Structures are given as C-alpha cells and as structure tokens.
Amino acid sequence: MSDSTPRRALVTGIANERSIAWAIARALAADGFELALTFVGDALERRVRPLAAEIGAGLVLPCDVNSDADIAQLFTTLGEEWGNLDVVVHSIAFARREDLMGRFIDTDREGFRLALDTSAYSLLALARGAHPLLKAAGGGSIITLTFEGSRRVFPNYNIMGVAKAALEACVRYLAADLGPDGIRVNAISAGPIKTLSAAGIRNFRDMLRFAGERAPLRRTVSPEDVAALARLLATTDGSGITGQVLPVDAGLSILGI
C-alpha cells in the first residue's frame, strides 16, 4: 500500500464523548484515517453525528448488530462508498440491568442469549461482513474491547463476564481463520473507565476507586490510554500481533488480590 492510499476504519459503539470508541476514533482520525461511524436509533444518532463532524468522519451509518440485515446493509454501503476497509473497531456490549445485579445463577435464558448475542456474536458477524473489504485492502485489523471480568469474578458484572470470555475466544478463532488473508484480530482489556456502559454496573465507583489505589501505577486509565494501543494495532506498527488480549489497566491485572 502506498502512502497516498487512503486508510479507512469503521468504528462502532460510540455512545457519547466519554466512550472509549470515541477516543479511538479521534486517535485514528489524527493518524490520517478516513472514518465511518455507526449508531443505533435516533437518540444515538443525535449524539454521534456532531462527533463525526468534529473529526471529519464522512460516513455515519445505522447498524443494529442484533440484525443480520442491518449488518449486511452496512457493509454493502461501505463497499459501494469505499470498496475496501483497513480497520474495524468493535466496541459493543449489552446486558439487561437486572442481569448485572444479584446472583449470576438467576440469569434466565433470554438474558443469557441477549448478552452473548450483542456482546460476543456481534464481533463474529461484523468480521464476516468486513472480511471481503479487508481482504480487498490486502489485509487489515479488527480490534475489540474486553475486561478482566472475563477471567475473574467482579461483583455485579455477572453475565457480562461470561460474554467477554466468549468474545475473547472469538478473537482467537477469528485470528486463526483470517490470518492467511493478512487480517489481524485482537482485544484490548481496559481497566475500569467511567463510561456510559459502566454506569450500568452497580457500585462501579468502588471498582474505580479500588483500581486507582491498588494498581501498580497507582492510577486508573483513560480512554486515551486505550486509544493509543488501538492506534498501534490498527497500523503496521502492530503487524506482528494477532489473536491476543492486551491489557491497558495500569498493571491491575497482575495482582493476585
């Protein structure tokens, strides 16, 4: 790829200006990427469009990842507008509020299905849709976001921990499938960050305070810390990295307690 060839990235999951996905979008825009952003519903569209304008994102497209038709239309549009794609950022997770409280054992079948479909299967669905466009670019990078709750029990994380574990397994299997086409797949495991989605976790402030007091660096991390690693994974600087879960948590995950 020559230096004059546009680099193009799809960023999903921006909820507002505090979203990790928004920090990643800004980092990629600053690095010269053309951007497409997605939204779900009118309320999020009203939030995302001004942010897209702020960084010059030329495409703002609807996509509900629980809908195969929406995903197909998203990549049809990207194919028509761009013809290829270099980066996909998957920053999507959801579970019902009641499934993030109480006991995990009380999660019903529908709550389990919804969390796994939205938070884990969506990566597979987006990767499958993006595959032809990434391949047309000569390879690329798929980046998703996870959390240490996939490996250790965090109070009030419950079904989301299971969904993140499934997401990380998807990363490994997708990396194996797509590697021959030069497509890398990685996850960033961010430490606790105050975002809109984190607000759904009861006692999240206690988790944030604990992280700041106990992490080896004695601080929490910011969306910009995560975005710095995402930028590396999105570019040729990360060309030898695939199938990995990479922590950005000020060292919190190395502690035994």
Delimit the domains of the chain by residue range. 8-250
Chain Cα centroid distance, residue 22: 11
Check pLDDT > 80 for residue 201. no
Q: Which residue has the tokens 């030329």?
A: 58
Residue 163 corresponds to which tokens in the numbers above?
Answer: 């969904």
The amino acid present at 230, given as its one-letter code, is A
pLDDT value at 133 more than 70: yes
| Cα angle 134-249-139, degrees, rounded to a multiple of 5 | 10
State residue 192's pLDDT score: 85
Q: What does each C-alpha distance from 239 to 49, 109, 195, 233 come to in angstroms? A: 31, 40, 29, 7
Compute the distance between CA of residue 208 and CA of residue 56 in angstroms, rounded to an integer.
Answer: 33
**CA-based nearest residue to 186, from 234, 248, 142:** 142
**Residue 2 scores a pLDDT above 90:** no
Q: Which pLDDT score is estimated for 211?
A: 82
pLDDT of residue 202: 62
Global pTM value = 0.93
What's the pLDDT at 57?
A: 96
Catalytic residues: 157, 164
Calculate the average pLDDT of the chain.
93
Can you read off the two tokens belonging to residue 254? 């190395």
Measure Cα distances from 24 to 16, 21, 197, 209 in Å: 12, 5, 16, 24
Question: Which has more confidence, 196 or 207?
Answer: 207
Which pair of tokens denotes residue 120?
Answer: 């884990």
**pLDDT for the residue numbered 155:** 86
- The CATH homologous superfamily for domain 8-250 is NAD(P)-binding Rossmann-like Domain (3.40.50.720)
Find out whether 44 and 15 touch, Cβ atoms under 8 Å. Answer: yes
Residue type, position 254, single letter = I
Q: What is the mean pLDDT of residues 41-53?
A: 96
What percentage of the chain has pLDDT greater than the value 70?
94
